[in-house]
Structure 1
């Protein structure tokens, strides 16, 4: 059943892209898809959040959620940043920018709020920036965990955009 729902979601997004134009996209002026994240956005630099921008949000988007994870962490997926209830009028986040008005910040895997940049212990890791377009504003406040935000988004995702960056810690 879950596979069928995922397949329907993929087919819907493919149809929507072909029938209605450009795809929901997430980009950074600091790095390209599957390329190295500059040091200034990591624990070896200023640990500032990278600049991000997005376009072609799905119709009827009421809020956005951004979740940044490291799926290569030895202890399992590590959450670096959670922002949710981002107003749909916001289409970019400058480097190191504060939380947009109206948005909330969830807890990262360090147990703190806010961005914590890549800082892998060994080898290169992938960092997945996923932006979710939602059909509602989530009834959650600051300090919410990734699992609670993800559960609250269930059945409210209109579309997703993803950007993956790579980083290997400098010895």
Structure 2
């Protein structure tokens, strides 16, 4: 089967009700550019640096995620979800996705679609077309989503949808 002939999935956040945006930057990523091999699964699952600013002043917490809408599944692939980041946290260093010990305060990882509570690097099937990795920071109007580490990334996204004040995204690509 030639996976590269599949239709292109829609941009995931274009399917949700619109919210204001803010600024998301990275020392490791450039929006629209290829993701470096350092951030692929075969290189050790290092998460990229992310920093954000310009979010609404009433923000009480953040959710950070990485989603691949181009994975050959009906529902894409969640590579990373961090829940309950305090509003005072506006940056995650490179490799912060390694474990909950690397996260500040009460923040924690939920299990990614690969089954680990950490960042899982890019790993599209060999020969498949270029995949998009959408890194998102969601500014929330609550200090906690009242979820636990066993919640699915989809449950986090659903719960956060109703608490999202604003969202920032940065999309990198990867192909093997």
**Residue equivalent to 2:106:** 102
Determine if the alignment matches structure 1 residue 161 to structure 2 residue 168.
Answer: yes
Structure 2: state its 5+ residue gaps: 1-15, 97-101
Provide TM-score, normalisation by structure 1. 0.83
RMSD: 1.5
Which position in structure 1 is the counterpart of 2:11?
none
Question: Highest Rg: 1 or 2?
Answer: 1
Deviation larger for 25-34 or 126-135: 25-34
Rounded to whole Å, the distance in 1 between the matches of 2:48 and 2:154 is: 24
1:46-65 equivalences under 5 Å are 46-65=44-63
For 2:154 and 2:174, the matched residues in 1 are separated by: 25
Out of 31, 42, 45, the residue aligned to residue 44 of structure 1 is 42
**Could you tell me the TM-score, scaled by structure 2's length?**
0.81
Residues matched between the structures, number: 152
1:24 and 1:154 mapped to 2: Cα distance? 16
Partner of 2:152: 145
Equivalent position of 2:4 in the other structure: none
C-alpha contact 1:24 1:159 (8 A) present in aligned 2: yes
Unaligned 5+ runs, structure 1? 14-22
Q: Which digits, 9 at most, give the CA deviation of each residue in 1:23-42, with x for residues without a partner?
A: 51111111210001111111
